[in-house]
Amino acid sequence: MDQIKTGELIKRFRTDLGLTQKELAERISVSDKAVSKWETGNGCPDVSLLSVLAEVFGTDIQVLLTGEIDKNESEVGNMKKMKFFVCKECGNIITATSEAAVTCCGNKLTALEPRKAEDNERLKVEDIGGELFVSSEHQMTKDHYISFVAYQSDSSFMMFKQYPEWNVQFTMPLFRSGRLVWYCTQCGLLYQDLRR
């Protein structure tokens, strides 16, 4: 194992997931100092941690051991980097996995920048025996509502359309990690990470 290559790869995977060193450390039950040590190439994870790290990062142990992502592995991240465009005129939702020039209703759309949801804005996610039940207390009026919720991981993407005056409630498969992204007509694009 090349400590420097593996450390750089761990840092890349961690930042791609939007995790701090402390958040990653908590997920795999080590100290944030250990994660910092790995990322700077001054040490490497214990062999017993490789399978847990691989699961968190959605990769395999061999990639962590070599410190290199093959071409197919690097292309897998496209779903996580998905861009969202929402037309203010008609409410159309358009997604792209790379740079795109998007127009709707005669207007050029700009990709929305997601912001991390505050504690009081987060969606409620419950494990209901093999599925996740997602809900929200967010108001759903004609002028202020969540228009969609999407699930993103390295290789998967699902969108759940929502409607004014309906409660946000849906079930989805149980995933070990990923991100929920949603669009509120007043607050913009928000996200929260799923950690299992």
CA distance linking residue 59 with residue 73, whole number of Å: 8
Architecture of domain 3-69: Orthogonal Bundle (1.10)
pTM confidence score: 0.60
Domain with CATH 2.60.40.730 in the chain: 77-195
Architecture of domain 77-195: Sandwich (2.60)
Residue 75 in tokens: 């292309």
Q: Half-sphere exposure of residue 52, counting CA atoms within 13 Å on the CB side? A: 14
Run means of pLDDT, 10 residues per run, the chain, 196 residues: 86 87 91 92 88 82 78 50 90 87 92 93 91 92 94 86 93 85 95 81
Residue 133 φ/ψ, nearest 5 degrees: -105, 120
Domain with CATH 1.10.260.40 in the chain: 3-69
Residue 69 in tokens: 């992502």
pLDDT at position 75 is 43
pLDDT at position 76 is 42
Residue 188 φ/ψ, nearest 5 degrees: 90, -155
